[in-house]
Amino acid sequence: MGYYDEQDYQGRYKPQKSRKSGFFWASLAGAVIGALLVIFSIPLLSNLDVLPYKIEPKNQTAVTDEEPSEEGQEDSTAKKNLSIDVYSQITEAVDKAGDAVVGISNIQESTNFWGQTQESGGTGSGVVYKKDGDKAYIVTNHHVVAEASSLEVSLSDGTKLPAKLLGSDIWTDLAVLEVPADQIKVIAEFGNSDKLKPGEPVIAIGNPLGLTFSGSVTQGIISGLERAIPVDVNQDGTPDWQAEVLQTDAAINPGNSGGALVNIEGQVIGINSMKIAQNAVEGIGLSIPINYAAPIIEDLEKTGEVKRPFMGVELASVNEISSYHQGNTLKLPKEINYGVAIRGVEPNSPADKAGLKEYDVIVDMDGEEIRDVVDLRKHLYNKKKVGDEMQVKYYRNGQLEETTMTLGGETL
């Protein structure tokens, strides 16, 4: 039965059309109106630049050279040229420390067959760390200044100054120079390398490949702390020392040696020293921690040398001696295949006064096991001072003995 809502002229109710037909006509009308709205709005939408979001860079200022349009009008074809002033913690750190890093030229003179003087040499980097009266002081690497006939320092503005070598230390690869202070404007600030963490950002500043690339800046992170790198001081193929260094992936190339490794605050936390250069190796640079370097720098500045404890012995690592001589010459027990053999003792030296002799094998100092010459030097140079007493355990004719030694004031 149909729906009835209204009456006809005879007063009878007449049926209304089904509601389904009403819905149909209403939907059709809505679709037509919607289509018309889309068609008429397309031209308006084409004039709008619609972006999902906009990023405003931190600490950056955007400047446009576009002429302002008249009120109520927009030029849809105008192109905006933006000039961004980037200023970050990295640029602030470089601004703070960059001019304190200088170039160092190692000038070496030689005379040829005809009696003519020739000059040659290399270049490296250095860091101005102190200014006192009319003098300024620069720290660099020992290998940068080694065998120099004269030294010259190049400042960031191109000024060249004659430099005097105050002291150099082969064991730590550090050296200190003195220059006139009147042209020195910026002094580096030392940080605290003991508080560094792996992953912390750092910046290397120096002169890679010579003065042509002076003031180069590379960025990286602290890749490792307290790395022990064997160093062959006398170039005989056997390590004489272990350098305690920081590892970084900031690019360090020849000429960067002696330059600064700085933290994000622009403080020097390391003196760049070397990189591991092998075909299969990439991104391993090494730097001397500034806390380790600071007392060496102070000694070199004041006295021209580093005063280290003196034993008065000539040494050889047991692991470099054949098993035949370990057993027959040194007479070591079979289970002892480590230690440091004494090859010679200087008369009236601390070792001589302590009763040590040729062929004795040192295996312990102050309760610390000594496996080779590097261990002995690390204990002697890093943990003892001139005048200190040291307990030494050693093997003689197969028997373990002990003595007390009062250390003198010369190397070994």
Two structure tokens written together for 163: 């430099």
Contacts of 403 (CB under 8 A, 6+ apart): 354, 355, 356, 391, 392, 394
Backbone angles phi, psi at 105, to 5 degrees: -105, 125
Kindly report the backbone phi and psi dihedral angles of residue 329, in degrees, each rounded to the nearest multiple of 5, phi listed first: -95, -50
Task: For CA atoms 139, 126, 101, 230, give the dihedral sign.
Answer: negative
Kindly state the helix (H) or strand (E) to which residue 35 belongs, with its residue range.
helix 19-45
DSSP string, 96-146: HHGGGEEEEEEEEEEE-TTS-EEEEEEEEEEEEEEEETTEEEEEE-HHHHT
How far is it, in rounded angstroms, from Cα 158 to Cα 161? 10
- Report d(CA 139, CA 168) in Å as an integer: 10
Q: Which residues are catalytic?
A: 143, 173, 257
Residue 197 β-bridge partners: none
Hey, what are 381's tokens?
Answer: 């140079």
Alpha carbons 225 and 107: distance in angstroms, whole number? 34
Among 255, 260, 102, smallest CA distance to 186 is for 102
Q: Which residues are within 8 A (CB) of 297 and not within 5 positions of it... i.e. 6 or more apart? A: 129, 139, 174, 176
Tokens 């059709």, residue located: 28
Spatial contact of 15 and 2, defined as CB atoms under 8 Å apart? yes
